[in-house]
């Protein structure tokens, strides 16, 4: 039985929220500078991620990568690592705390402790018009972790499904590093859900998804602040309008293109240093 509310319950609920991490002291990316880098960059590679599969790709420091919807509405689950130190990887939770639940142009993908620095910056997003809909849904979330066979096993009464994003990313990174899948699995982390439309229901606070507004030709482009190893899964949920963790949904490939910026275009730009905290923790 829930407890009965105190006499001042309404007053307590009426207290206005404060932003946990006001972003006025967060270093801002110089998007005009990145646009000049992009104008000088040329394409060096492309990878097609087949439906219900994952693929890895590498991006040189100060290069760019673009994820494009090519054949039909499709959601992608993105993992990022420092290509020179795979322990430094994308930290979805702190990125969410700093930029909010959904990302778009100018937002950055931050790395985990103790590095905590920008790994990538979103420089263009053709879905930036979407904003938040009447249900509270937005695009490109950092709230949804990734679909995985363990949660599916738990909720389905013991069903085995091997093409959840967690498994697709595991196979992709295993193929890239040469590790066994059981070892490579530990490298997979909470994702940025590219093109996915999600939110929390207003009444019960439950995580929801709805048909992605992405259409063929839409893309999101990222600037590599450090050398990156990336992996992308074309989610078995397809556009995530109804279901995931099965072969039921219509699924389409995703295109990843990589661009390199010539050194002479960079001027005095430098990769962000690792976080300056001294790690003594008061000991
Ligand atoms: Zn998925």
The pLDDT-based confidence of 248 (bands split at 50, 70, 90) is confident
Q: How far is ligand 1, taken at its centre, from the CA of residue 244, in Å?
A: 7
Residue 23 has pLDDT above 90, yes or no: no
Q: Assign 278 to helix, strand or coil.
A: coil
pLDDT at 124: 98
- Burial class of residue 202 (count of CB atoms within 10 Å of its CB; 0-12, 13-18, 19+): exposed
> Which residues does 91 contact at the CB level (< 8 Å), separation at least 6?
110, 111, 112, 113, 116, 189
Instruction: Give domain status of residue 160, yes or no.
Output: yes
Angle in degrees, 0-180, between the axes of helices 149-156 and 165-177, rounded to the nearest 10: 150
- Bridge-based pairing of strands 192-200 and 138-141 is antiparallel
Closest Cα partner for 41 from 257, 254, 233, 204? 257
pLDDT at 244: 80
Q: How far is ligand 1, taken at its centre, from the CA of residue 237, in Å?
A: 6
Where are the strands (E) in 5-98, listed by range?
42-49, 54-59, 64-69, 76-82, 85-89
pLDDT at 246: 81
pLDDT at 266: 94
Residue 24 has pLDDT above 90, yes or no: no
CB of 199 within 8 A of CB of 212? no
Q: How far is ligand 1, taken at its centre, from the CA of residue 202, in Å?
A: 23
Q: How far is ligand 1, taken at its centre, from the CA of residue 246, in Å?
A: 10
Residue 1 has pLDDT above 90, yes or no: no
pLDDT, average across residues 243-254: 88
CA–CA gap between residue 112 and residue 129 (Å, rounded): 29
Instruction: Give domain status of residue 201, yes or no.
Output: yes
Q: Which two tokens stand for residue 270?
A: 């430098």
Q: How far is ligand 1, taken at its centre, from the CA of residue 172, in Å?
A: 14
Q: How far is ligand 1, taken at its centre, from the CA of residue 157, in Å?
A: 19
Closest Cα partner for 93 from 49, 19, 131, 145? 145
Entry pTM = 0.95
In tens, the pLDDT along 259-279 reads 999 999 999 999 999 999 999
Average pLDDT of every residue of the chain: 96
In tens, the pLDDT along 86-122 reads 999 999 999 999 999 999 999 999 999 999 999 999 9
Instruction: Give domain status of residue 23, yes or no.
Output: no
- Calculate the dihedral angle through the C-alpha atoms of 113, 191, 198, 75, rounding to the nearest 10 degrees: 160
Where are the strands (E) in the chain, listed by range?
42-49, 54-59, 64-69, 76-82, 85-89, 108-110, 118-125, 138-141, 192-200, 207-210, 219-224, 228-234, 254-260
Q: How far is ligand 1, taken at its centre, from the CA of residue 104, in Å?
A: 20
Q: Which two tokens stand for residue 175?
A: 């193929």
Range of the domain at 240: 44-222+230-250
| Percent of the chain surpassing pLDDT 90 | 92
In tens, the pLDDT along 128-137 reads 999 999 999 9
pLDDT, average across residues 12-27: 90
Q: How many structural domains is the chain composed of?
A: 1
CA–CA gap between residue 196 and residue 144 (Å, rounded): 9
């Amino acid at each position: 039985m829930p407890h009965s509310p105190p006499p001042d319950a309404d007053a307590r609920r009426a207290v206005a929220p404060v932003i946990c991490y006001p972003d006025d002291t967060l270093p801002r990316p110089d998007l005009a500078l990145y646009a000049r880098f992009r104008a000088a960059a040329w394409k060096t590679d492309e990878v097609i991620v087949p439906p219900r599969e994952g693929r890895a790709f590498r991006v040189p420091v100060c290069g760019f990568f673009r994820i494009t919807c090519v054949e039909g509405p499709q959601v992608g689950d993105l993992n990022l690592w420092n290509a020179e130190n795979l322990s430094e990887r994308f930290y979805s939770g702190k990125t969410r705390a700093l930029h909010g639940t959904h990302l778009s142009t100018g937002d950055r993908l931050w790395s985990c402790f103790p590095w905590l620095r920008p790994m990538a910056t979103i420089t263009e997003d053709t879905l930036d018009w979407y904003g938040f809909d009447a249900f509270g849904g937005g695009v490109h979330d950092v709230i949804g972790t990734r679909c995985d066979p363990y949660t599916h096993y738990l909720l389905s009464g013991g069903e085995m499904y091997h093409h959840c994003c967690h498994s697709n990313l595991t196979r992709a990174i295993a193929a890239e590093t040469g590790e066994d899948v059981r070892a490579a699995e530990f490298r997979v982390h909470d994702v940025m859900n590219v093109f996915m439309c999600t939110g929390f229901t207003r009444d019960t606070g439950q995580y929801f998804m709805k048909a992605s507004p992405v259409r063929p030709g839409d893309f999101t482009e990222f600037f590599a602040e450090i050398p990156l190893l990336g992996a992308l899964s074309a989610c078995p949920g397809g556009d995530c309008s109804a279901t995931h963790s099965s072969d039921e949904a219509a699924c389409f490939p995703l295109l990843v293109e990589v661009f390199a910026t010539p050194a002479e275009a960079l001027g005095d730009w430098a990769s962000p240093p690792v976080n300056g905290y001294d790690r003594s923790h008061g000991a």
